[in-house]
Structure formats: C-alpha cells, structure tokens
Structure 1
C-alpha cells in the first residue's frame, strides 16, 4: 500500500524558504542553443536577454531553409510561444519545449520566439507578468537587431 504524503513540498521536491520562495531539488533536462550555421541541423537557435535584472530571456528558432533560400526579401512568419507548466515549471531551455519549438520552426517554416519568464517557486507572484509588460506597452519595448 502506498504511503500518504501530507506535505506537498515533499511531493514536489521543493524546500520552502522563510521569504516565501522555494528551492528546487530536481532539475529537468535542458538543451543548449545551437547558433552555429556550420552545424548540420535543421533549426538554428539563439538565446537573447530581455531583462537582465529579472533574468527574463527568449530563445529564437530559425529554420535552416530560411538561410538557404534566395535573397528575394520574403519574410517568414513569427510565432511567439509561451511554455506551459503552470508558472512553476520548467523553462524555454527544457528539452521537451526546445524540441517542440524546433519541430514547429522546421515544419512550418517560421521563426519561433519562445519566451522564458520568472517562475513562481523562485520568485513571488506576479513574477510571470514580466515579459507581458513589454507587449502591453507598460514597459520599454524589446529591440532585436
């Protein structure tokens, strides 16, 4: 018969800190970016900082075929992807989301911008709103280029 766990922190493998944040004991597998066009891969990826003080960033996914097409000034669609996880788990670099965005960029032929945000276990609410402020105009716009 299974044991009853009455402490949800034990079940989630986290430790509650006195300031209301949490420390995680388990990490999910991460995939590093691959920005080198000389690599034989279908999608190039690059990490870009949005806000260094909040540690918010995004990962861009560019299909290789965009580099190989003739220069006719055609534009690629842009897809913004916000990873799931209930604002507590995992990140853009998590292998499951990296692979999903790579497949989407390759199959659709679009640039995918996967935005990372501060998670609520390490940061107090409403930390997840950090990247949203840039799109609503309440914070300075992100300039890429």
Structure 2
C-alpha cells in the first residue's frame, strides 16, 4: 500500500497514487425514522438496483390527515460530487426541518459519486431519479407516499454546492425534454451552487491561488474528461441551452465569505441578460461561509435562509 498522494482535497477527500480513495468527511449515515422534533417521517427506497440509485423520502406528519396533496421537492446533496450521501446526518437533519417548515414531500437523491463513478454518472442518476418521480404522475407509481401525497404539478428542485450544480443541470434537461418527465417544475433553489470558470470574476481574485486550485480540483476529479473550467456543465455562461431552463422561478442563496459567491450572483445576471423570462433572486448570508446552514442550522442566518427557502416553495402563484 502506497502512501503517496496523487490528489489532496482535504478536509474532504484524498486520492493516493495506488488508486486508494480516502474520504475524510461525509461517511456517517443515520437511519430513516420518525423524527420526534419535527414530526417528519422518512423512508429509504431503491430507484434502480442495477446502478444502486436510491433516495430517502420525507413526509410531514400533517400530510397524513390532509386530503390535499403537497408540493414535492427533489433534493440533490452536495459534497463536491465525491463525498456525502442522502443518508448523511447533515442532510437528514436539514431536510427534516425543511419538510416540516414548508409542509412538503421531499425526495433526497443518492447518486453515484466520483471518482469511482465520474461524471456524468451523478447527472444520469439524478435524471433517472426524476423519471422515477414522474412515474407517479397518474398516482400509479411504485411509492405510495408519492402517489397519495405529492402534487406533481408543484415540483421544485434544490441542492447545495455540487448538488446546486446538479439541480441546475436537471432543470436544463427538463427544459429540453418536456415529454420525458411528466411533472411541472415550478422553481429551483441553488444553495451556494458549485459553478466555476477559467478566469476569476469579482471577489474570486481575492482568494489565493491555492484556494482557487482547491475549489477547481473537485471538478477535475469528478469529470476527468472535461474540457476545463469553461465546460458548460460547470460554467453556465458557456451553456447555449441556459435559456431553456425548465422552470418559472429561481432562488440562489450565497454566503459572503464563500469562494463561489460571485458565481451565484453571476448566474442571476446571466439569466436576466439572456432574457430567460422567469424570475430570479439572490439571498446573501452576511458573515457566513460555504454550507454554513448545514453545520449550524440554529444560527440566525440559517433560520432566515430556511424561512426564505420555505416561502419560495410554498408561495402561491
């Protein structure tokens, strides 16, 4: 066994020259259960046994006694495409809170991760999960939770970091493939989305070269066949299909001290510049860093962001 490191992306992951992969974060899992604090029940389902795609479903207790169906949120977890899962305590705790606060059904997608499964595996798995969701459009899908409780005319995507990137890509695919997935995508929530580019923009230039190299390193690890940081998958500015974003509303959440903050603001500028036609807004958390809300969900900024995301999903048209 060699201890020579080929790529060091601490504190998240290390890749050794002998091919060994050491995940330093996101390895803990918690079981699906009834959460006593929020009254939200969760269960795990397998979407595709062949590829191992699965998901954790969340259902608020209030749904049991309510004949009216609830909005459905499809969530894509972050972790640089290479760490964390849908069963991580970070995501389990956050989605219990969000499902309870918003009174929504949640499908949290567990996709295959890089580097064992390089991109587009995560994108393809997420798309397969969306088609699985769409199979419930007539109330005859494999999940009785979705059949009975999810309103497929009020669907939202959300994700943080790399999951925000995935949510964006899935919304593009939805816009390009209207007949493939039979549900109505109302909006997407991109929390500290992982977008990047060949040339620094705005405050990115204030970060030292090592920080920028570390940030870009996850993209190169996840997508070894990429054309670089101006690949349309990581840089929306280069995507000719950006105007086909298949939803009506977008909420981008950014954090003041986050290295990818400028990309979140730029995403809003791009959508407005190309005349996409929907509404887009940005919420900034002052004094905070990347995914602060997952690590400190009870802080004032995390509560404010939870309220904002919740109101975005539950707003009446």
TM-score by length of 1: 0.73
1:111-132 deviations in whole A, cap 9, x for unaligned? 1111110001221332112231
Q: In structure 2, what is the equivalent of residue 53 of structure 1?
A: 50
RMSD: 3.0
Using the TM superposition, give the Cα deviation of residue 64 of structure 1 relative to its aligned residue in structure 2, in angstroms: 1.4
User: Where in structure 2 are the equivalents of 1:69-80 lying within 5 Å?
Assistant: 69=65, 73-80=67-74
- 1:79, 1:8 → 2: CA distance? 35
- Classify the secondary structure of the residue corresponding to 1:96: helix
Q: Which has the higher contact order (CA 8 A, sep 6+)?
A: 1
Using the TM superposition, give the Cα deviation of residue 78 of structure 1 relative to its aligned residue in structure 2, in angstroms: 0.9
1:63-121 deviations in whole A, cap 9, x for unaligned? 11222x3x5x2111111111112211211001101111100001111111111100012
The gaps in structure 1 that reach 5 residues or longer are none
Moved over 6 A (4+): none
- 2:76, 2:96 → 1: CA distance? 14
Q: Tell me, yes or no, if structure 1 residue 135 matches structure 2 residue 134.
A: no
Q: In structure 2, what is the equivalent of residue 26 of structure 1?
A: 24
- 2:129, 2:91 → 1: CA distance? 22
Using the TM superposition, give the Cα deviation of residue 15 of structure 1 relative to its aligned residue in structure 2, in angstroms: 3.5
Partners of 2:30 and 2:88 within 8 A in 1? yes
- Choose which of 90, 95, 120 in structure 1 pairs with 2:114: 120
- Classify the secondary structure of the residue corresponding to 1:88: coil
Q: In structure 1, what is the equivalent of residue 7 of structure 2?
A: 8
Aligned residue-pair number: 130
TM-score by length of 2: 0.36
Q: Tell me, yes or no, if structure 1 residue 64 matches structure 2 residue 81.
A: no
Using the TM superposition, give the Cα deviation of residue 14 of structure 1 relative to its aligned residue in structure 2, in angstroms: 3.5
Partners of 1:49 and 1:55 within 8 A in 2? yes
- 2:5, 2:55 → 1: CA distance? 37
